[in-house]
Amino acid sequence: MARSWRVIRPGPIDTRPLRMVQEARPTPGDGEVLVRVLACGVCRTDLHVCEGDLDVHRPSVVPGHEVVGEVVDGGARFAVGDRIGIAWLRGTCGRCEYCRRGAENLCASSVYTGWDADGGYADYATVPETYAYPLPDGYSDVELAPLLCAGIIGYRALDRAELPDGGRLGIYGFGASAHLAAQVALARGAKVHVLTRSAAARELALSLGAVSASAAADMPPEPLDSAILFAPVGDLVPTALSALDRGGTLAVAGIHLSDIPRLNYQRHLFYERQVRSVAANTRDDGRDFLNFAQRHRLRVTTTPYPLEQADQALADLAADRVDGAAVLVP
């Protein structure tokens, strides 16, 4: 028997939508491998799944898509004992126009770990081996877990934000994904300005090398070439657009965002400012980011929780009580 947390009835996290159950160990299907979960990051998307912000795709799903696991039933690509990563993107059709042009993240038939299929809030998990990742050396299991979504999505958000070499980047919200994206930008020579409501997060940003750190509603000390909105707060969209220089780009990194207030064309969009969303990632994004993490040692700030406290970890995430990334350890 194995332990799993399942979303029994989506709703506010204080209504306890999750329940831990004892059940048979999952069996891998064709082309899948089975892993023993070593660590699983707690992502804000998990909170959206649990609270019902995202439509139910699989009733009573096991959340979690930042999974570091040890292979216990291998396949063609991985051997028993290998340490591999399971991320958000779990499957695409491979045939549609988006897949054929290298934009598999837009595939209408795409499926996702912890939403369409059971994820890593458990002792064991399965993954199609063509969607699993070899992992960089030099990191602990707990450090690796946030790289598998927070890191990959932040990396893609940087691409979508079109940050020029040595450019000025504004980051709104500074949790798991943002603190990794900031390090990628800094390694590329960017000047990073962090705007977030958390005083602890502002201190972390400065310790990582940010030029400035202030409250989310403040204006940065200089116009921005690019900005990334990690906080799921639509009210910050006009704030970030107002901070952009001419020709600047705002990338919205979350899968869910509260409503955006009315924009003023002259103040927020004129002079070729633009807003772009970020929809999941491709496997190439994942491979590129993990290769970057192999070449550049990232400082991964984590708050570990035992698997038994998954509901508490999500409650702490919702209340901004987590330092860096929360990670479950079975």
Is 210 within 8 Å of 196 (Cβ atoms)? no
Domain made up of 2-135+300-329: CATH architecture: Alpha-Beta Complex (3.90)
Residue 254 has pLDDT above 90, yes or no: no
Instruction: Read off the pLDDT of each residue in 89-108 and give the average, rounded to a whole number.
Output: 98
> What does the angle CA 327 – CA 328 – CA 330 come to, to the nearest 5 degrees?
145
Interval 62-80: pLDDT, tens? 999 999 999 999 789 999 9
Q: What distance in Å separates the CA atoms of residue 181 and residue 150, rounded to the nearest whole number?
A: 8
Is 276 within 8 Å of 251 (Cβ atoms)? yes
- Judged by DSSP in three states, 325 sits in strand
Confidence category of residue 295, pLDDT binned at 50, 70, 90: very high
Q: Where are the domains of the chain?
A: 2-135+300-329, 152-277
Measured N-to-C along each axis, helices 176-187 and 152-160 cross at an angle, to the nearest 10 degrees, of 60
Q: What distance in Å separates the CA atoms of residue 157 and residue 154, rounded to the nearest whole number?
A: 5
pTM for the full predicted model: 0.93
Instruction: Read off the pLDDT of each residue in 86-110 and give the average, rounded to a whole number.
Output: 97
Instruction: Read off the pLDDT of each residue in 171-191 and give the average, rounded to a whole number.
Output: 96
Residue 177 has pLDDT above 90, yes or no: yes
Please tell us whether the domain made up of 152-277 is placed in CATH 3.40.50.720: yes
Q: How far is CA 151 from the centre of its chain?
A: 6
Interval 15-60: pLDDT, tens? 999 999 999 999 999 999 999 999 999 999 999 999 999 999 999 9
- Judged by DSSP in three states, 289 sits in helix
